[in-house]
Every structure is written in C-alpha cells, then in structure tokens.
A = this chain, B = another copy of it.
Amino acid sequence: MTSPTDQTGETPLLLKVLAGETTARPPVWFMRQAGRYLPEYRALRAEAPDFIAFCLNPGMAAEATLQPMRRFGFDAAIVFADILLIPRALGQDVWFETGEGPRLGALPVIGRMEELAAGAGEHLHQVGETLSRVRAELEPERALIGFAGAPWTVATYMLDGEHRTIGKGERAQARAYAYREPEKVDALLDVLVEATARYLKMQADAGAQVLKIFESWAEGLPDDLFERLVLKPHQALVARTRELGVTVPLIGFPRGSAALAERYAAECDLQAVALDTACPLEVGKRVQAIKPIQGALDPLLLLTGGEALDRRVDQLMEAWGQGPWIFNLGHGITPEVPIAHVEQVLKRIGAQ
C-alpha cells in the first residue's frame, strides 16, 4: 500500500482526497458497482445461488469485486460482502429468500453476543481472504475499500427478527423498540460497536486501505434518536477502531440525514462524510468545509441517462469540484442500469 503522502504518482486518488487534497478530477467509484447490472456478475452469481455462501467464498467474492474494476477502471474497489454478516458472527441466523429481503432468526441474548463480539473478525476471516486476493490483483493506483454496516442499521435488521407486528417495515419496528426498550437497544448497539470495530480491524489487516461505515437507516430519525442511535455509536465505533490500532481513513455514510450532515461531520472524528441523493449541493459545500465529502449522483439518473445525466454531473462538478470530493452515487446502482450510462458518467468526469 502506498501512503497518501507518497509522491511517486501511484498513490490512489481516493487516498489523496481522504487526506484532504483537492484533485484535478474527483476519484470515482459507485455503490453496488459489483452487482446485477453487470452480465458477468449475473453469470457468476448463478453458480452460487445462496447469497451468504457467495459472500463467504473468497474466490467468488474477489471475482465479483474485481469485475467492475476490469470493465470500468474505477478508482476504488469495494470488497463484495454484506452488512448482515455481523449478525451471523453474533450467533443470529440470517438467510435470504428469493424475491424478498433478508430474514433473521430470533435475537440471541445480549450476554451471548457480548462473548462472541471479540471474535467477529476471526469469524468472518473469509472477508479478509477476499480482500487479500483483490489487493494482489489490483493496480497500485486503485484503492481497496472495506466496509461494515453501522450499528443502528444492523440493529434494525436484528431487532426485526423478533418484532414483526409493530407499524410498517422494519425501520418503524426497530424505532418503536428503541423507544420502548431503550436499555436493551443501547446494549445491542454497544455489542455491535465492539463486533464491528473488530471486523473493521480484521479488514484493515487484510489489506483494506479505506473503511466505510454504512448507516443505511439514518433516514427519518428525529434528532434525539439520531444522536442516540447514529452519532454516539459512530463516535464509539471510530474510537474503538482506532484503539484497536486501525490507522486507515474512515468514511461515514449517514444516509437520509442531510439536515444533520454538518453536525455529523463536525462531531464524528472520521475522515470523510458520504452524502446521499437528497443532500442539497449547498449542504454538501458546507460539509466539505469541515472534511472531504463523497457523493451523490441520483442512481435513477444513471438509469435514465441522456442529457439530464450529463447536466447533473456538471452541476456536481461545479458545486463540489473545488474541494476534496469523491464522486459516487447517492445510493446503490439499480439492476436495470445500462452499462453505457456508467461509461457516460466516467467520460464526463474525465475518468475514462
């Protein structure tokens, strides 16, 4: 791994930006860049129908990680894995049913999860093997990203395993639970902080040069809950990760909370904040004054393409191109996205 201060020309653009540098063009990668919109991914996935087994097969997961790198030459690869590997490491059953979202078994007792948390990294060693394999094949100027789901987001799924009857959808259920049984939810978040820090440490040791924390369900939270369920656990996770000796830059992604993005950037000691589709350009600029940002093209524009796509890419370049910025989507690529539209974006920003 080359360091951000390396001047040989091989320092990945992504690491330069994460060190606070403004680059001539933004480094670019896309959330879910390895995925169903790629025919080669669909072919690979067909060989391993079980999704968890696919994620935990280092050969297949490394191949999935590398496919979009070969095709598009993105500036970063992100390890192919799933945020629901952590519940498995904590003893909760996780499975996927075709055409539906993930399903989880009953929540293990807190004491048992506490015992398992320290071993989360070892338990998920296959993800480390995937990272090592990818790093061995990746050009030095491409960065390798590891990731984990943030504690609250993972908790929403874990709690859903037990509580299927309150309100609409697992987020509402988990939020109601956070109000109803605060001690239990806070204890679960503590366990998740520990397990996630260990998991991230293992990924950094295996070759991840950047770590991203995905808070997919920061959306819709009142500010008191945002503070309790997102901000504090992220602060604890960053602190614990550093305590374990991790030195690589961290990106936080509190999706759906643009009105709190500046506060998050100011109060959370990570290196960059990823913004989502609905983050106004002006808010992004204010966050960028605090630390590097990542985002935030609407993935639906990638679906529809045309002049509207070019126009929005130009707006983003105009608004955020004068500061440290990683070009990305505001949400993951959808399976229907035409490959030509991905190429259109890369050309437009001068990355291809």
Contacts and interface: CB of A to CB of B under 8 A. Distances in A.
11 contacts: A172-B300, A175-B298, A175-B300, A180-B304, A220-B277, A220-B278, A222-B296, A223-B280, A223-B282, A225-B298, A258-B258
Nearest to A334: B167
Interface in A292-330: 296, 298, 300-301, 303-304, 306, 308, 312, 315, 330
B303 A176 contact: yes
A257 B220 CA distance: 10
A304 B176 contact: yes
A219 B278 contact: yes
A163 to B, nearest CB: 12
Contact of A304 (B179, B219, B304): B179
Interface string A234-246: 0000000000000
Contacts of A263: 280
Nearest to A297: B222
Contact of A176 (B176, B219, B222, B300): B300
B315 A224 contact: yes
A98 to B, nearest CB: 16
Interface string A200-220: 000000000000000000011
A179 B297 CA distance: 13
Q: How many chain copies?
A: 2
Nearest to A175: B300
A10 interface: no
A223 B279 CA distance: 7
Given A179-B308, A222-B312, A224-B315, A280 B259 contact: yes
Given A260-B280, A303-B176, A304-B179, A298 B222 contact: yes
A185 to B, nearest CB: 12
A294 to B, nearest CB: 15
Contact-residue size bin, chain A (C-beta under 8 Å from the other chain): 35 or more
Which one of A224, A281, A283 has the greatest number of beta carbons of chain B within 10 Å? A224
Given A166-B303, A179-B306, A222-B278, 9 more contacts: A180-B306, A220-B256, A220-B278, A221-B278, A222-B298, A223-B281, A256-B278, A259-B259, A259-B278
A108 interface: no
A126 B90 CA distance: 58
A182 interface: yes
A224 B311 CA distance: 11
Nearest to A331: B220
A288 to B, nearest CB: 15
Nearest to A179: B304
Which one of A221, A260, A300 has the greatest number of beta carbons of chain B within 10 Å? A300
**Which 3 A-B pairs give the minimum distances between C-beta atoms?**
A258-B259, A223-B280, A179-B304
A336 interface: yes
A314 B302 CA distance: 45
A285 to B, nearest CB: 12
Given A166-B303, A166-B336, A303-B167, A224 B176 contact: no
